[in-house]
Amino acid sequence: MLTPSSHTPPMKITIYRTSSLGDMVLATSCLDLLDQLPIPAEITWVGRGPALDMIQASWPKVKTISIARSAKFSDLQKVAAQLSNQHLIIDLQCNLRSQWLCLNLKNSYNVPSFSADKSQFARSKLLVEARVRGRRRPLPEKSLHAPRLQHETMCDALKKGLRAHLPIEMLDGLDLVNAVPRLNVPDSFDSPWRKELKFGAWIAIAPGAAHPTKQTPLDLIKDILEGLAIDLTSKELASRLPFGLVFLGDENDRLSARTILNTLNWPGPVLNLCGMLSLWETGIALSEASCLLSNDSSLGHIAEAVGTPSNILFGPTIESFGFPPRMRRSKAFSSLTGCRPCSKHGKVACRYDDKLCFHSIPVTSVIHHMSATLASSDARHLGRDLAKPTEHSSSTDPKVHS
């Protein structure tokens, strides 16, 4: 790839992604892509909330513009004026507001925009098929595999913009860059709980999710942890290296963690940090864990963005939406229950009122995979090399479905 002159003026690129938290984390793959290219760039991120604060803490050179959920078109007009000198705007939100802003920038300031493909039709098709299929037939296993991961489609939009703006001699090798979601964790951040997490090996547990319908039943999480404790003890791993549990999430998840711990006999130390950390501090805590067990939620994406392998339990949502874990040591676990997926975001309550999609997940597969991960000679630092090629995988038991 051609190295530009030191006098090459920086490209001014705006990324528009305001929600959801998980998608904002996945969108950091665009920052990783630009960071790997020998092209000077000044990046602005239009977003909001704690996720925007987390991105600014992780990528301090990125300028941020906060736009409230209640913002009116007059507020968007002010944002457009702030972005009038940009070369490109990458629209990863693709909603009415972002499209209006992009149109305004194009018409008023001649700033081109490039949008991500959200594959809405493909997702709607999967929903219709699940509704018609119900539980009369199992979910086709091919439906578990995403043809393109969400962070890849986000990078595709950025690459399209770069191809339109840059001369051809500066595009050599663009498609060879392996860009992944990345949050940079400072070594200098110090706190009592981080010091504690640096001793031994810790398994992060995130029992919460954005919607209650996406949350794994607590008894299933307890069954996995009980089986994992037995497996680690049988392999004499627990005596060689103490494995602790660290629970992460908000204040509501703190109660869930207590419910699990009330009847769980875990042989190692336990740390319940739910509701005690900021979002950015939660990312730092995840960076110290050996692995994560969680639902299909934003913490799974944050864990991988800081280099921690994840074990993700999928229930009403489905991997082929494009959100499965991507790292080699990460894995998605789900069942072939025919009524999956229920909805695009897992908001809709189970129409059978039994959450069979969760209860049919092969627990032994989860236990064995987590145990194999923890059996590594250096469990605390598994998966830290984000530059290595990644692949995503899933686990289902075709014999367990309805």
**Per-residue pLDDT tens over the stretch 172-230:** 889 899 999 999 999 888 899 999 999 889 999 999 988 888 999 999 999 999 999 99
- What pLDDT score does 187 carry? 87
**Residue 234 parent element (H or E):** helix 218-234
Q: In this model, does residue 402 exceed pLDDT 60?
A: no
Residue labelled with tokens 């290219």? 37
Beta-ladder partners of 113: 89
Secondary structure element (H or E) that encloses residue 166, with its range: none
Q: Do domains 11-176 and 192-395 have the same CATH topology?
A: yes
Nearest to 3 by CA among 31, 34, 35, 40: 40
Give the start-to-end residue ranges of the domains of the chain: 11-176, 192-395
**pLDDT band at residue 365 under the 50/70/90 scheme:** very high
Task: Tell me the CATH class for 11-176.
Answer: alpha beta
Q: Hey, which bits of 151-195 come out as E strands?
A: none
How many degrees, rounded to 5, is the angle at CA 231 between CA 228 and CA 234?
150
Assign domain 192-395 one CATH number from 3.40.50.2000, 3.30.465.10, 1.10.3720.10, 3.40.605.10.
3.40.50.2000
Model confidence at 238, pLDDT cuts 50, 70, 90, reads low
pTM of structure: 0.91
Least Cα distance to 385 among 177, 156, 182 occurs for 182
| Encoded amino acid at 122, one letter | A
Q: CB neighbours of 150 closer than 8 A, spacing ≥ 6? A: 23, 26, 321, 322, 323
**pLDDT beyond 60 at 138:** yes
Q: What is the pLDDT of residues 276-328, one digit of tens each?
A: 999 999 999 999 999 999 999 999 999 999 999 999 999 999 999 989 999 99
Q: What is the pLDDT of residue 335?
A: 94
